[in-house]
Structure 1
Amino acid sequence: MTQLKVLICGGGIAGHALAFWLSKLNHDVTVVERFPSLRTTGLQIDLRGAGIEVMKRMGLEEAFRARSVDEQGLKVVDSSDRTWAYFKANKTGKGLQSFTSDFEILRGDLCQLIYDATDDRAKYMFGTTIERYEEKNDCIEVLFSDGHTDRFDLLVGADGQGSRTRKTMVGPETVDPIHYLGLYISYFTIPRPIREGEGYEAKLYTAPGRRSILMRRHNQTQMQVYLQVSGKDHSERLMKAHKGGVTEEKKAMAEIFQGAGWHTEEILKGLEESQDFYCERLGVVKMDSWSSGRVVLVGDAAYCPSASTGMGTTSGIVGAYILAGEIGKYCGGTGAKEDLPVALKAYDDRFRPFMDQVQHGIVESAPLWQKVFPSSSVGIAILNCLLAIATILKLNVLGRFILREAVKDWNLPDYEEMVHGRRE
């Protein structure tokens, strides 16, 4: 079998998953990551639908469950902490997941699991970035930030929603294909020992002014906090703050949530002291093609569906599986390098119907997403009542109408040789 020499830019979940599969196919894989070591930070993520099956095919189910977060469901509460609605996690193994999936885990734990499972088959260059690359007739030449150059058969951009690889690939004359939704979310943890009577339920509180707070517990001593805002004034304030870095973003979020009620005072104190704060402007990446020449994109860099769909991690891990599978299918013989364009097109053809459904209508309905949290106390009361009715009727409104797990008329490819190895 002819080896491909592959460079993956980005050591996130999609990048690690692709390195796992390509190295299993015995390709020569290098991952370049700007962080000085493996990034094991990040809050809670989940897998849904096809993402669960891919994780199982990686042989990671037992290890995943050993590190999983045992969240039982989501409570919708008011400023007095009264529960209006409760959406229980679906742990039956059948049907759509609820807000809480049966496969919840901290981002860093999943990165570590996949990294460990790659079993030193891939090389990692930490604390390094790509300065520039140039496509030649028979390779792609890359200059790294440490000054050295190398040649590869394929460059994969797995560097997230704001991908530099994507921007270089599409060129300066093309508008970057990211569509912002007018929502911001900040993520951080606060110290909060579990109290008597508390469980591992997430709590969602909505405050007037299109503000919401989600709190989730992942261990006995800490809580995760997600501050979500929308609306023109908030967006303009946070866009301006982004230019000043984390300190200014923290200050802006604290100002926006001042006096929001519920546990805000405790949360804002934790915000000020947090060392893991991150603020994200929600966006959707939509492209006509995920590759150009010897450059291909995977995960959020290619088709970020936004956190609002609940499908970001699943899309990244399934996309990596299909990209590797098509490379294994078309580039396993003596003509591996010559058949690479065929494999990249097959990846697009196979996976695009999945992503079209996940992303369907999100960009077009951006004005509605900006109003998902009411601006007034009356609007919040109506929303809470509607969610209470949904709970009484046992309607999975979040899983069915908000999250995008239900992909129809699409089947996950098998790639038997990649998953199980070649049969003699």
Structure 2
Amino acid sequence: MTPRHVLIAGASIAGPALAYWLHRYGWDVTVVERAPNLRTGGHNVDLRGPGREVIRRMGLEAAVRAASTGEVGTRFIGQDGQVVAEFPVRPGEDDSATAELEILRGDLAQLLYDATAQDVTYRFGDRIQALHDEGQQVAVTFEHGPAQTFDLVVAADGLHSKTRHLMFGDEPQVKPVGQTMLFLTIPRQASDVNWWQWYTTTHGRAVHLRPDRYGTIRALLSYTSGKANAPHPSEEEQQQLFQQKFRDAGWEANRVLNGLQQADDWYFDVLAQVKAPRWSQGRRAMVGDAAYCASPISGMGTSLALTGAYVLAGEVAAHVDVRDGLRAYERLMRPYVEQAQRLPPGTPRLANPETRLGVAAWHGLIRVLAAAPKGLAGVLTSKKPPIELSDYRHLEQGR
């Protein structure tokens, strides 16, 4: 058979994972990425449930373990800097704040890229400018280089996907969940530990410090915010905003703010979910955060991306008509996605109180949970029902 051609927009997690599986099923794969090279920055992501199983089927579980951040669990820090409660990693369980498999986003992206680079065409420093579904193929115009046609085009370029807009206009709904975050890397100090340290203070603010495997600390500042969409502040405005909000926050806040002045990898975002009424139209489709971002609060974003890529590739390969495969992909994935997007009650305000009394109540709840057999299950990373992963090995070609 003449190989079918697919164009995937986005070279982070979902894109290379989809490329991996479609190549195994005999497709000719091109990945277009607007960044000039692979983006290896980013903070912790975790692999849970089906996402972990997909990594295992890719033969990458040992590599993921070897690239672990070394995080041993989660500690909640009180106003005096003392530990309120701690929740160590529980091997084999998916319901703790720190998963058994914790890896930096950039390290996982590198592993997926390395697993596909020999078989997949990567076009860095380019982007899709226009799409036209002609029925049997999709005509694509690029910012650089000549136009081409593909049998399938998939948007895998994240929450702020430009390709999604080209495919569906304003149809997909991006809904803020009420929290704003700033991520950055700061120098490690002798007093730092291999725990995720989570400090909560008034006005919905929190400071997080997490270890990595490079001898630095991944810091995060967050505060509760309105759910209405607002203009995206400039980089200067972002820095000023966090300097103002956190200068009296206490604990390690000033250390992080000082680090922000020297950091070259900081990233600002208003957390949101994507509630798209459909994930495909004709020969155009979406996967990962572009289709169904659950937000970092869910703890499920990476697992959804890997699982969605696996199911999309398998179903497309299993059907003669690509469009039938896309419909099957959505039928299988949507119940799982909808459950993953159901955040714990009161999120994010329950864990980010406004008042001192609220902070005290939150810490009281944390102490109760630390003494309970199930720990944080159902509060921070509520359990998601499994999705049955089909075995598509009979569709593989040349292996």
What is the TM-score of this pair, normalised by structure 2? 0.95
State the superposition RMSD in angstroms: 2.0
Moved more, 217-226 or 52-61: 217-226
- The 2-side partners of 1:418 and 1:269 are apart by 54
The 1-side partners of 2:135 and 2:236 are apart by: 46
Match for 2:222: what amino acid? Q
In the alignment, the residues of structure 2 paired with residue 361 and residue 216 of structure 1 have an alpha-carbon distance, to the nearest angstrom, of 22
Residue 113 of structure 1 deviates from its aligned partner by 0.6
Tell me the residue number matched to 1:127.
125
Letter in 2 for 1:352: R
The correspondence of residues 314-353 of structure 1 with structure 2, limited to 5 A, is: 314-331=303-320, 339-353=321-335
1:104-123 pair list within 5 angstroms: 104-123=102-121
Which position in structure 2 is the counterpart of 1:283? 272
Counterparts in 2 of 1:162-181, with a 5 A limit? 162-172=160-170, 174=171, 176-181=172-177
Q: 2:379 aligns with which of 401, 405, 413?
A: 401
Counterpart of 2:180 (choices 179, 184, 189) is: 184
Kindly indicate whether residue 247 of structure 2 is the aligned counterpart of residue 270 of structure 1. Answer: no
Q: Which residue of 2 aligns with 1:258?
A: 247
Cα distance in 1 for partners of 2:32, 2:68 equals 27
Q: What residue number does 2:361 align with?
A: 382
Q: Distance in 2 between matches of 1:212 and 1:124?
A: 39
* CA distance in 2: counterparts of 1:387 and 1:401, whole angstroms: 10
Q: Decide which of 134, 138, 141 is 2:139's aligned counterpart.
A: 141
| Paired position in structure 2 for 1:412 | 389
Cα distance per residue 1:131-158 (max 9 Å; x no partner): 1111213211111111421111111000
Alignment of 1:358 onto 2:348 = no
Match of 2:154 in 1: 156
Aligned to 1:294: 283
Query: How many residues get paired?
Result: 399
Is contact 1:299–1:320 with CA below 8 Å preserved after alignment?
A: yes
CA–CA distance in 1 between the matches of 2:26 and 2:322? 16
Is contact 1:188-1:226 (8 Å) kept? Answer: yes
1:243 and 2:221 matched: no
Amino acid corresponding to residue 201 of structure 2 in structure 1: A
CA 1:231–1:327 in structure 2 vs 1: closer, same or farther (change >3 Å)?
Answer: closer
Is 1:207 aligned to 2:201, yes or no? yes
Give distance in 2, aligned partners of 1:63 and 1:16: 16
Residues 311 and 405 in structure 1, CA contact (< 8 A), matched pair in contact too: no
C-alpha deviations, 1:189-223, integer Å up to 9, x for none? 1012343xx53111000111110111101136311
What is the alpha-carbon distance in structure 2 between the residues aligned to residue 75 and residue 324 of structure 1? 39
- C-alpha displacement of 1:369: 2.7
Query: Do the aligned residues in 2 keep the contact of 1:49 with 1:405 (CA within 8 Å)?
Result: no
Question: Counterpart amino acid of 2:370?
Answer: T
Task: Determine the C-alpha separation between the residues in 2 that align with 1:309 and 1:127.
Answer: 31
- The question of whether the paired residues in 2 share the 8 Å contact of 1:231 and 1:371 is answered with no
Give the drift of 1:79: 2.7
Deviations 1:324-375 (A, max 9, x none): 11112114xxxxxxx111111111111112112112367xx6x753454111
- Residue 224 of structure 1 corresponds to 218
2:77–2:198 Cα contact (<8 Å) kept: yes
Say if 1:220 and 1:278 are closer, same or farther in 2 by CA, change over 3 A: closer
Residue matched to 1:64 = 64
Look up the SS of the partner of 1:369 in the other structure.
coil
Contact map agreement 1:230 1:371 (CA 8 A) in 2: no
Percent of aligned positions that are identical: 36
Residues 141-194 of structure 1, C-alpha deviations (whole Å, 9 max, x = no match)? 11111142111111100011111122222235x4x4111112111110101234
Q: Which runs of 5+ in 1 are unaligned?
A: 332-338
Stretch deviating more after TM superposition (352-361 or 15-24): 352-361
Q: Assess if the C-alpha contact under 8 Å between 1:205 and 1:212 holds in 2.
A: yes
Question: 1:208 touches 1:380 (CA, 8 Å); kept in 2?
Answer: yes
Is this contact kept in 2: 1:35–1:127, CA < 8 A? yes
Q: TM-score, normalised by structure 1?
A: 0.89
Question: Structure 2 regions of 5+ residues with no counterpart?
Answer: none
Paired letter, 2:342: H
8 A Cα contact 1:201 1:216, kept in partner: yes
Write 1 or 2 for the structure with the bigger share of helix. 1
Q: Is the 8 A contact 2:68 2:213 kept in 1?
A: no
Give the conservation status (yes or no) of the 8 Å contact 2:155–2:290.
Answer: yes
Q: Following TM superposition, by how much is the alpha carbon of 1:123 offset from its aligned partner in structure 2, in angstroms?
A: 0.1
Amino acid at match of 1:392: A
SS state of the match for residue 199, structure 1? coil
CA 301–220 in structure 1, closer or farther in 2 if over 3 Å, else same: closer
Which residue pairs with 1:373 in the alignment? 352
